[in-house]
Amino acid sequence: MTAMQSAPPLPPADRALFDGVLARQLRPLAKAITLIESQRKDHRLRANALLEALLPHTGKAIRLGISGSPGVGKSTFIEALGNHILDQGHKLAVLAVDPSSSVTGGSILGDKTRMETLCQRADAFIRPSPSAGNLGGVADKTREAMLLCEAAGFDVIIVETVGVGQSETMVAGMVDLFALLQLPNAGDELQAIKKGIVEIADLIAINKADIDPRAAAITRAQWMSALKMLRPASPNWTPPVITLSALTKEGLTEFWDAVRRYKDTLTPTGEFEVKRRRQAVDWMWQLIHSSLNQCFQRHPVVKDSLPRVTQKVSSGCITPTVAASSLLEAARFFDSQES
């Protein structure tokens, strides 16, 4: 089916974006992502129509999440893995969810000097984290950007994030396989287990194994025994623990083989598709929650009385339950949504 045949009723400017995205032209793709990242209501409506039109062309990529603490080697690794993947004829898009950029405007994931060799390759597209108002917003924009990249024919999407706060859970909720990068030293794994991150990891990679291969091997063994204590998300997949070096490129093939094995194992069992469907429904609910929340906070009655009610709750004059009910009732929140 060509772009012409499936032409949706879009205004001419967006029609050009639609055609450009499907033709994998990077400028229209970047413009389309800018449109979905915009906070303006008219842009939002256009972005929704564009996404809707492109939806039949999405879903064909393998979606890979990569996380780890600052300095663990994420960008070095993604650059090395990216080149490895591109050499095999794939088309790669790299997106980022940077929790710091939404809060402070700064960035932990760094600036555009990262992944220099990848940036220069024809079949690669690199997009830094959107700077939306909150992390939820950033994650939603990244999900949508991911769909645009898929429509553009990128068959591998990497979403990078940092091991800080909620961002890992959000990224794990939008990818097929979530990989955690770790350093070869004891203690790290316990921290990750404590934070509950290990439960969402489908693969663990011990980077910088070149520095001390023995320490890396010990760390790998520790990880493997730690993982045995946890119940795996799928009975058909035990997260592999791989030692590698983003610098010397050792272990990259093993990593990529594990990604492919993941897909090949969980596709026939139906789990791959079930996970995607569950993620789509979860995303819908997240959008509903955040829209309801915004509507509520913007309601004039709520805006007016919120500071006073908050003060009363914090000083113990009224209970949070009474406060919440009175605000919801005063705003006639649910009625106003129906009209």
20, 28, 65, 73: residue in contact with ligand GDP (rule CB under 6 A):
73
Rounded least distance, CB 136 to ligand GDP, Å: 23
From 65-73, 87-95, 190-198, 252-260, give the range in contact with ligand GDP by CB under 6 A. Answer: 65-73
Rounded least distance, CB 211 to ligand GDP, Å: 5
The residue nearest ligand GDP at its CB is 73
25, 34, 58, 76: residue in contact with ligand GDP (rule CB under 6 A):
76
Question: Hey, which residues between 12 and 51 contact ligand GDP (CB under 6 A)?
Answer: none
- Number of residues binding to ligand GDP, judged by CB under 6 A: 15
From 32-40, 69-77, 121-129, 315-323, give the range in contact with ligand GDP by CB under 6 A. Answer: 69-77
From 164-172, 241-249, 266-274, 298-306, give the range in contact with ligand GDP by CB under 6 A. Answer: 241-249
Mask for 199-238, x = binds ligand GDP (CB under 6 A): --------xx-xx---------------------------
**Contact flag: residue 68 with ligand GDP (CB under 6 A):** yes
Burial 22-53 (b: 16+ CB within 10 A, else e): bebeeebbbbbbebbbbeeeeeeebbebbbeb
Rounded least distance, CB 68 to ligand GDP, Å: 6
46, 57, 74, 91: residue in contact with ligand GDP (rule CB under 6 A):
74
Question: Hey, which residues between 135 and 164 contact ligand GDP (CB under 6 A)?
Answer: none
Vertex 133 angle, CA 323 and 314, to 5° = 25
Question: Hey, which residues between 242 and 281 contact ligand GDP (CB under 6 A)?
Answer: 245-247
Q: Which is nearer to ligand GDP, 46 or 74 (CB)?
A: 74
Residues forming contacts to ligand GDP in the complex (CB under 6 A) are 68, 70-76, 207-208, 210-211, 245-247
